[in-house]
Each structure stands twice: as structure tokens, then as C-alpha cells.
Amino acid sequence: MLKEKLQTDVKEALKSGNAVKRMVLGLVLSSIKSRELDKRSKLSKTESDPAKLEETSKLNDEEIIEVLSSEIKKRKDSIELYEKGGRPELAEKEQSEINILVSYMPEQMSEEAIKKVVRETIKDMGKPGSESSESLREKSAKGGQSELLLPGKVIGAVMAKIKGKADGTLVSKIVKEELSK
């Protein structure tokens, strides 16, 4: 499980004196613990057995990848702000932290692979026989955009298919490009 790997790597970083890696992974483990406590709080309303509650509140690898993605996004946002503020040394520090976090993420999809998934999703959302095919024709005849082909709907469907394997910003950009064709 990913959480155990993170915990092991924190210990190794501590032993080897890698302060940056220890700090980054420590923060990630804190975020994971926080998310587990939130999950436990929600589950405690329906579950009364403490042992079962403890087990069900643990995050699975997919949820841990969401935490990692969130941490990466925070650092990317910080890099942007540091670069605008003329602080390249802080931007470099954030980038080194991103490099550590990325090593725990699943392999990222190529832009071409993402485009293929986006095209398939758009095709599926508007294909004949789907709930929307008639309303698509009616709305386009009236000059309106179909609700199903709004970028947000497509992005949501694509992200559900490729969860953790692509950056949301890139997916958003590709979806908007494909919908504008």
C-alpha cells in the first residue's frame, strides 16, 4: 500500500539526512491523517463499532493519490506566485518538492493519450441512442449549447476515467480545444 511506502521512505530520509524529502513526505502523511480523520468523522455517524470504524476510515491508494495530487497542485500554484513575485529560489524549492511527490504518482498519460480519451468521451456523450442525442439536435437547432457538452461535464467524465494519471489543468485545456473544433 502507498501509505506504508511513504512511511518507510520518511524513515529512510530521516536516517540518510535528506531533510527536504523527510519534510515533504511528513507533510503528505499529515494530510493523509487529516483526510482519514475527516472520513472517520463522517463514518462515525453511521458506524458504532470502533474497530470497524478504524478500518473503514483508512484511505486506499486511490484516495492517497488524490492527496498527492492536491499537494502537487498547491506547490504548482506556489511556483507561479513565486515567479511572479521575483523569488526564483523559492520556486526552485517548490519544484524540488514536486519532483519528490511525483515519484509516488502513477505514470502520467501522454497528451495524445489524453486527447484520445477526451475524443471518445465527447463521442460517447453525444452518440445516437444516448439520453441526449435528441436534445442535442434540438438545442443546436435553436442555437443553444447542449448541457452535456459543456466543458465541465466532459472534464468530469474524463477525469473519472483517468483519475490520477493526468493533470486536471491539461485535461481542461484539451477538452476546451476539442469542444471548440
Are 12 and 86 part of one and the same domain? yes
What mean pLDDT is predicted for residues 167-176?
89
Domain count, the chain: 2
Render pLDDT for 124-159 as a digit per residue (tens, 0 to 9): 887 443 444 344 434 444 455 444 467 888 898 998
CB 32 within 8 A of CB 104: no
Are 97 and 13 part of one and the same domain? yes
pLDDT for res 129: 39
Are 93 and 150 part of one and the same domain? no
Are 129 and 155 part of one and the same domain? yes
Are 88 and 115 part of one and the same domain? no
Are 91 and 123 part of one and the same domain? no
Are 31 and 93 part of one and the same domain? yes
Q: Where are the alpha helices (DSSP H) in 57-150?
A: 61-84, 88-102, 111-126, 133-141
What's the domain range around 94?
2-102
pLDDT for res 29: 97
Q: Which are the contacts of 148, defined by CB distance < 8 A and separation ≥ 6?
A: 125, 126, 132, 136
**Which residue, of 102, 129, 148, is where some domain finishes?**
102
**Which residue, of 79, 102, 125, is where some domain finishes?**
102
- pTM score over 0.75: no
Contacts of the segment 104-108: beta carbons below 8 A, 24+ positions apart? 104/2, 104/5, 104/6, 104/68, 105/65, 105/68, 105/69, 105/72, 105/164, 106/65, 106/164, 106/165, 107/165, 108/165, 108/166, 108/167
Are 41 and 126 part of one and the same domain? no
The span from the CA of 31 to the CA of 164, in Å, is 17
